[in-house]
Structures are given as C-alpha cells and as structure tokens.
Amino acid sequence: MSSTPVAPPPSAPPPAPPPKDTFTVSFDGKAIEVPKNLNLIDAAKLAGVDIPHFCYHPRLSVVGQCRMCLVEIEGMPKIQAACTVPLKDGLSVKTTTDKVKNARAATMEFLLINHPLDCPICDQAGECTLQDNSFGYGNQLSRFDEAKRQYPTFDRTMIGPHVVADMTRCIQCTRCIRFTHEIAGTSELTFLDRGGRTLVWTHEGQPLANDWSGCAADVCPVGALTTREFRFRSRVWYLQKTPSVCPGCNVGCNISIESRDDVVYRFLPRLNPTVNDYWLCDYGRFLSEPLNDRDVHKATVREGSAVREATVPAAVDRIAREIRSSLEGKGPGAVFFLGSAHLSNEENFLLRKIADHVGSPNRDAIVDKSRPRKVKSKTVWVEGDDAGANHQGAKDMGLSPGAGGHGLDAVIAGKASPEVILIADAAFSAIADDPEKVAALRRARFLAVAARNANALTRAADVVLPAASLAEKEGTFTNVQGRVQKFDRAFLPKPPIRAAWEHLLLLALALGFGDRSWTPHDLLRQIAAEVPDYAGIKEEELEGGRLLKKGDFAWAGRP
Amino acid sequence: MSHTRYRVMEAGEARRFPPEAMARIEKILTRYPTKQAALLPVLWVAQETWGWISKEAGEEVARVLDLPPSHVDGVLTFYTMYNLRPVGKHLLQVCTSISCHLNGAESLLERCGKRLGIGLEETTADGKFTLVEVECIAGCDRAPSMMVNDQYFEPMDAGKLDALLDRLSREA
Ligand code: SF4
Ligand code: FES
C-alpha cells in the first residue's frame, strides 16, 4: 500500500452518518426522536401526547383487544389501534382528528353498554381508567336503554385470598389473564364462555393464589378486580402518596405508601425497572396494615421494680449515664450495641458512630431468614431471603464485631457478658420474643431498647423508647443487589414517638458528640464521605436507586 | 347450547384416559407443532371417551397436554359442541339460525320437545334423548336442518321428524 495520503476528490460524498438508534416519529405534527423498541403508546407519552388505552401494558404482550387506542396514521386509509402499530422512521400519527375523536367515543359507548354506571359505589372510582377515558374521550349521554348484563354468582366474589372479582365491571381487556400467564407464570385466570357473556375466572379449586396476586388488581383498569384488604376503606383521592421502600425483605421493592390522617391504607408498587418494575409481592403489599400497629407510645424507665413513664430526653440521659458508668468501671468492652435490618443506613451508621465514640468493638446486626421471596424486574427475577430490608446496609455501616469485640451470638451463648446493652430496634429478630434468649440478654446490668410494639424484650428492658414506623421516618436502605434506595416520610410520628435516628442523635449528644442539627440527609452525606462502598453517593441521585460498585450480588444480570 | 357455559360440571371422580384413548392422543400429537395446538382434537377424544367433558376430564386433558386447567376451561366454554354435562344417547341438535328459522325450525323444536316430554337442554328419563337448540350448522341449503350426534338430517318436516324419533326410540 502506498504511504502517500491521497486527498479525496472534491466530488466525494460526505461519510455516511452513523446509523441512528432512534426513530423520528411525529405526533400531531410534533416530531420527536424515540427509542426504536418502544410501543407507539409509550412513544406518544414521550411526546406529551396521551393515547387512551385499556389493554396495553408496557410489560405485557400486546393484544389489541380494547380498541381504545385508535389513531390515524398518515398513509394508512383506516384508523389503527396504536398499540399494534410498529414504530418506524417517519411515522406520522394523528390523535386529534374528528375521525379519531369519533372512534374513541364509539369505543367508549360500546364499553359502557354493559358496564354499570355506578361509580359512586364502586371502589375503583378515582383511579379507574374507564372513568377517566369516559370523561376525557367519551360521550356524556348514553343511548342505551336496555337492561345491562348481569353475572349472578360472579359478582363480588373472592377468587383468591386477596382478590375480589366483580364481573359486572370487567371490560375484557385480558390484562389480568396476561399477568398471571406472562409474569407470575401461574395461569390461574382465564376467560370463560364468549361474546357478550365472557367473564374472567379461575379453574374451580385453583384460586388466584400466587405470590403476586395483588398485582392482578393493580393491572385491572376498572373495579372488576380489587383487593379485600383495601376495598371500601378509603376513597383514593383522599390518599397521600409517599415514595418508600417495602420493609418486607432485602429485595427492597419500591412502593408508594398511601396514607390519610396518619393512617397507612395500602402499599402500591412504584415503578423501578431495575428492582420490582411494576410489581409487588403480596407479602410485602399487605405489610401496610401491621405498619399501623403500635403499643409503645411513651418512653418508660425501670426504677427498682417499678416501671415509670419518662420523657424521651430523660430516658436517653439515663442510657447515657449507664453507658458512662460502665465505661468508667469496666472500660469500653462492657457496652454492646445492636443495630437492625429494619433500621435505615443513617440509623445504623449513627449507632456505629456511637460505638466508635465510646470505643466499643461490641456491635452487631443480625437478621432472620425468611421464605425466599422474589419479584420480577424488567429483565430478571430479583430474589431475597432476609426478613428485613436492610441487613446489607447494617453490615456496610460497620455493625459487626470489631477487633476483640463480640457479636450477639456470643452474648446469648454467655461467652460475653456486657454490662450495658443497647438495642436500637426491639423487633430486630424472633429472638426478641424467645424467653431464653431474652433472659440471656437480660443478664446485662442495664438493657435499653427502642420499639414500636411490645414483646418479651421490651418487657424485660430497663428503658424503652417509643420508635417511629417506616411511614414516620426517612432514610435509605441497601437492597440485595447493593442498591441504595431512599424512602420518604409519609407523616410525622405522634410525639413523643421519634425515629431511631433521633433517639440515637440525642444519645450521641448526651455522650458528647454530634450536632443537634443533624438530619438523615446530613448522615447520608457523612456516609458518602466515610463508608468506602458508599463514596460519593448523593441523595439527589438516588431516584430509582443507585447501585454500589461491589462484586457479590445475589443475582447476575445487572442492567 | 344457548345457555351460559360458565361452569364445567363435576363428575365427582378423577378421570384417566384409557390406553386406547392415550394411543389416539399420541397419534394426534404427531400432527401438531405444540401440545397446546392439539387441544381441540384431544378434547374430542375426551368427549368420545366419556360422552361429556367434566371438570375432571378437563383436568386430565390439561395433564396430558401440560396446560393450565384454566386454559382448558377457557377453550371448553368457548366452543359449544363440547358437552359440559351428561347428555342422552341421542343428542338432538335443532338449528334455529336464520335459514332454518324461516323454514319452520321453531315448530320442529316444539314438536320434538312435546313428543319426548322434555324442554330445551333436558334429557329424557330413560337417558336416550337430549334436546338442544344450536346456531348454524351449515345446512342452510337444506333447511330446516338438524343433527343427531354427528349425523345430519335435512331438510326436516314433521313427518320425517316423527319417523326419525320412532326409529331411534326402537333402537336399544
Ligand atoms: S378483570 Fe379487569 S384486568 Fe381482567 S379482563 Fe376484566 S377489566 Fe381486564
Ligand atoms: S390499547 Fe390498543 S387495543 Fe387496547
């Protein structure tokens, strides 16, 4: 080959542009670039154009069943179901023409022929796609005079442990059937009969009882499938939505806590394609009810044989006094700190800082194992088997025995006998209700716990602090994937109840370190500065969860 | 059948295909790309084996085809020619769709019921006859048309109907 560079002749065509990985599609005259693998309905959403639909769901197969998504496409003579039209370059979609408006109104009219018009007594009202689409795209008046279809014995019936079916409300979109078939893989649901008599039901003797059955009610656009637990408990428009993380296990599904007047009414899945996608397991979903349980409302302090109510600062001062006197008498080895897989990273971090401050190597955080739970992310199943959301985070924050220190096992086995034990979460394990193990912990001269619910451990303790629930505090959890996820506070705890981090901050101040102004946000900044795996984490970046740079996650398919 | 087909009746006992039926099913399966695709013909084998398809028979079909029983229910209740309850030896199916209707199907149906002393969807006490009304059976060119089990009788009139019922009644 010649080494002399040859100048291109002036007429040579410019180099071909690199192939695009997007399509240029226009919606109502507005052109936008969209990823090639999107469905037309989602592409329209990117362009800010709403294409009303019922049967289309981003994670379920496309069936073109409901005909609500009709649009005009330039170059196609007939109106098209948007969900079934493959994207391509130059596609021009019209959603505001008379033809489209009439088609949508006609579809709505057909759907409402057999659908009851009794929204005031239907629990779906307020989050019903049929109601919304009727309001947005339907005709106000009905021309239908005849009697509506009825389904005696197939209305308001439990078809599984959680889901109530009312077939008079079904619009035959098949989302629920596809969910059980394509996501849960259990196929409990099917259509029975045909035509105007079609209904969704189960095979006799095989109820809708898979681990995610509540999701069938989530995907149902109408009130045909609802959950027994939430049904008729609150109008949805009264509910305040707070982004949070499920406390059930270390998968850490993203949830919305739905509350009103400081009562949690339900959890709904919150979309996170890398963790739980659109789904939530039934176990986690229905932890919303126990979240309202509480029997520890006040701080208590034992004096001699009497247990007295005390203010939280006074109770914390007592803990600080006991810690100091043990440190003076026996040295730092006499104090033991137990964190928990239910506490946030910020709380476990602060507990560890307290242990550091007094110089105690005795710290631990254990977790009970649960039945393995799993949930389908967009690409893979994410599995967890911890009975707490944040064991990974507790370990990351340094809650395991330091050099020369001992852990919970040693204390329970009697191999170590600390004088003072501080348990930052009395619900840390089933151990807390095991009389023998509690007796072993009670060998300490002084035992302090924070708790929401009474158990054998709180009854044995010298000081009990009233602790906030998940809904009453904010912070971060680290899930089984090593993903740090933020949860927000739905409402303030009722005084004198406080979050564990507030108790711990009071204790830190009493022991001579920390700053009264610290919040979980400050603690997270400290974590980012001090905990190697969390270096550089920023709260603003935690939307969707940030994955730590670590090797050994419980699953292989990282996105 | 014209009634709703929401429920598949229970036979009350588990069903297993006898060896000859299994042999037929094996042969059917060789003609289809997937087991699911063979569902309709295998349901026919079930119907021919037991005369009707119970909940348990549907479960047996689901078992041999590796399908969810709910899916089998869906197909069973969609098609009307699977009998979801026991029927008599002779299943009288009178077409009442448009051509037959215009040619006197209703009076045929009525005559049939009167002679046998049964209503629609009912079976005679001796278990010989079940009377049902069906949608178009593709006999429009010789309406009114009816079928007994899988045999056509057309065009029908009162005299032919009487003769047919007489003959069938005499049969064992
Ligand atoms: S029950 Fe709900 S999700 Fe299922 S087909 Fe009917 S409307 Fe759709
Ligand atoms: S969303 Fe397109 S047909 Fe239902």
| Concatenated DSSP letters of A351-382 | HHHHHHHHT---EE----EEEEEEEE-SSSEE
All residues at 6 or more sequence positions from A77 whose CB lies less than 8 Å from its CB, including other chains: none
Residue A555: what pLDDT?
30
Domain of residue B119, CATH code: 3.40.30.10
Distances in Å between the Cα of A102 and the Cα atoms of A68, A97, A109, A137, A426 are 11, 9, 10, 9, 62
Residue A2: what pLDDT?
45
Find out whether the beta carbon of A53 lies less than 6 Å from any atom of ligand 2: yes
- Who has greater pLDDT, A205 or A551? A205
- Who has greater pLDDT, A204 or A548? A204
Give the chain A residue nearest B54 (alpha carbons).
A204
Number of domains in chain B: 2
* Residue B2 is assigned to a structural domain of this protein: no
Q: What is the CA radius of gyration of chain B?
A: 17
Can you tell me the distance from the alpha carbon of A337 to that of A324, in angstroms, rounded to the nearest whole number? 14
Tokens of residue A184, six digits: 């849960």
My answer on whether B48 and B113 are in the same domain is no
Where are any strands of DSSP class E within chain B?
90-95, 122-123, 129-134, 146-148, 151-153
Reported for A132-138, long-range contacts at CB under 8 A and 24+ positions apart, including other chains, are: A132/A52, A133/A52, A133/A54, A133/A68, A133/A104, A133/A108, A134/A108, A136/A50, A136/A52, A137/A52, A137/A68, A137/A101, A137/A104, A137/A105, A137/A108, A138/A104, A138/A105, A138/A108, A138/A109, A138/A112
Residue A549: what pLDDT?
52
- Which pLDDT band, with edges at 50, 70 and 90, does B3 fall under? low
Domain boundary among B78, B110, B125: B78
* Residue B13 is assigned to a structural domain of this protein: no
Can you tell me the distance from the alpha carbon of A383 to that of A374, in angstroms, rounded to the nearest whole number? 4
pLDDT tens-place string over residues A255-308? 999 999 999 999 999 999 999 999 999 999 999 999 999 999 999 999 988 999
My answer on whether B56 and B123 are in the same domain is no
Mean pLDDT of A525-532: 96
Q: Are strands A254-260 and A263-269 parallel, antiparallel or unpaired?
A: antiparallel
* Residue B45 is assigned to a structural domain of this protein: yes
Amino acid at B37: A
Can you tell me the distance from the alpha carbon of A542 to that of A285, in angstroms, rounded to the nearest whole number? 22
Can you tell me the distance from the alpha carbon of A513 to that of A502, in angstroms, rounded to the nearest whole number? 14
pLDDT tens-place string over residues A5-63? 555 556 667 777 777 889 999 999 999 999 999 999 999 999 999 999 999 999 999 99
* Distance from the alpha carbon of residue B76 to the mean position of ligand 2, in angstroms: 26
Residue A19: what pLDDT?
78
Residue A556: what pLDDT?
27
Can you tell me the distance from the alpha carbon of A202 to that of A128, in angstroms, rounded to the nearest whole number? 23
Residue A16: what pLDDT?
79
Residue with tokens 């996608």: A277
Q: Whose CA is nearest to atom 3 of ligand 2?
A: A64
Residue A552: what pLDDT?
30
Residue A202 contacts B where some CB pair is shorter than 8 Å: yes
My answer on whether B50 and B103 are in the same domain is no
- For residue A172, the ligand closest to its alpha carbon is 1
Tokens of residue A175, six digits: 């989302």
Amino acid at A62: V
Contact A55, A222 (CB under 8 A): no
My answer on whether B55 and B95 are in the same domain is no
Residues 43-102, chain B, touching A (beta carbon < 8 A): 55, 68-74, 77-78
Contact A483, A548 (CB under 8 A): yes
Question: Hey, CA dihedral for A402, A407, A413, A417, is it positive or negative?
Answer: positive
Can you tell me the distance from the alpha carbon of A258 to that of B169, in angstroms, rounded to the nearest whole number? 69
My answer on whether B134 and B99 are in the same domain is yes
* Residue B147 is assigned to a structural domain of this protein: yes
Interface size, chain A vs chain B, as Cβ–Cβ contacts under 8 Å: 46
Tokens of residue B37, six digits: 């695709």
* Residue B109 is assigned to a structural domain of this protein: yes
Contact A365, A400 (CB under 8 A): yes
Kindly state the DSSP code that residue A532 receives in the 8-state scheme. Answer: G
Tell whether omega for the bond before B144 is within 30 degrees of 0, i.e. cis: yes
Residue A540: what pLDDT?
84
Can you tell me the distance from the alpha carbon of A319 to that of A40, in angstroms, rounded to the nearest whole number? 61
% residues pLDDT > 70 (chain A): 96
Question: Hey, CA dihedral for B80, B82, B85, B86, is it positive or negative?
Answer: positive
Contact A176, A220 (CB under 8 A): yes
Chain B residues with beta carbon closer than 8 angstroms to that of A197: 4-6
Nearest to A202 among B55, B70, B72 (CB): B70
Q: What's chain A's average pLDDT?
A: 93
Tokens of residue B43, six digits: 């349901």
φ, ψ of residue A511 in degrees (nearest 5): -90, -5
Can you tell me the distance from the alpha carbon of A387 to that of A341, in angstroms, rounded to the nearest whole number? 8
Chain A residues with beta carbon closer than 8 angstroms to that of B6: 154, 192-193, 197, 199, 201
Mean pLDDT of B151-159: 96
Q: What is the 3-state secondary structure (H, E, C) of A4-43?
A: CCCCCCCCCCCCCCCCCCEEEEEECCEEEEEECCCCHHHH
* In the predicted structure, residue A551 carries a pLDDT above the cut 50: no
Q: Tell me if A192 and B69 make a contact (CB, 8 A cut-off).
A: no
Contact B93, B137 (CB under 8 A): yes
Contact A265, A279 (CB under 8 A): no
Contact A460, A447 (CB under 8 A): yes
3-class secondary-structure state, position A501: helix
My answer on whether B109 and B157 are in the same domain is yes
* Residue B97 is assigned to a structural domain of this protein: yes
Domain of residue B58, CATH code: 1.10.10
My answer on whether B47 and B119 are in the same domain is no
- Which pLDDT band, with edges at 50, 70 and 90, does A237 fall under? very high
* In the predicted structure, residue A326 carries a pLDDT above the cut 70: yes
* Residue B43 is assigned to a structural domain of this protein: yes
My answer on whether B101 and B166 are in the same domain is yes
Amino acid at A558: R
Tokens of residue A527, six digits: 């974590």
My answer on whether B125 and B53 are in the same domain is no
Residue B102: what pLDDT?
97
Give the chain A residue nearest B1 (alpha carbons).
A193
| Domains of chain A: residue spans and CATH | 22-96 (3.10.20.740), 119-128+145-292 (3.30.70.20), 299-375+385-530 (3.40.50.740)
Structural domain including B150 reads 90-171
My answer on whether B57 and B123 are in the same domain is no
pLDDT tens-place string over residues B83-131? 999 999 999 999 999 999 999 999 999 999 999 999 999 999 999 999 9
Kindly state the DSSP code that residue A554 receives in the 8-state scheme. Answer: S
My answer on whether B110 and B62 are in the same domain is no
Q: What is the CA radius of gyration of chain A?
A: 29
Amino acid at A379: T
Residue B172: what pLDDT?
66
* Residue B6 is assigned to a structural domain of this protein: no
| Cα A320–Cα A323–Cα A329 angle in degrees, nearest 5 | 140
Q: Name the minimum distance, in Å, from the CA of A181 to any CA of chain B.
A: 9
Give the chain B residue nearest A202 (alpha carbons).
B70
My answer on whether B131 and B105 are in the same domain is yes
pLDDT tens-place string over residues A443-499? 999 999 999 999 999 999 999 999 999 999 999 999 999 999 999 999 999 999 999
The pTM assigned to this predicted structure is: 0.92
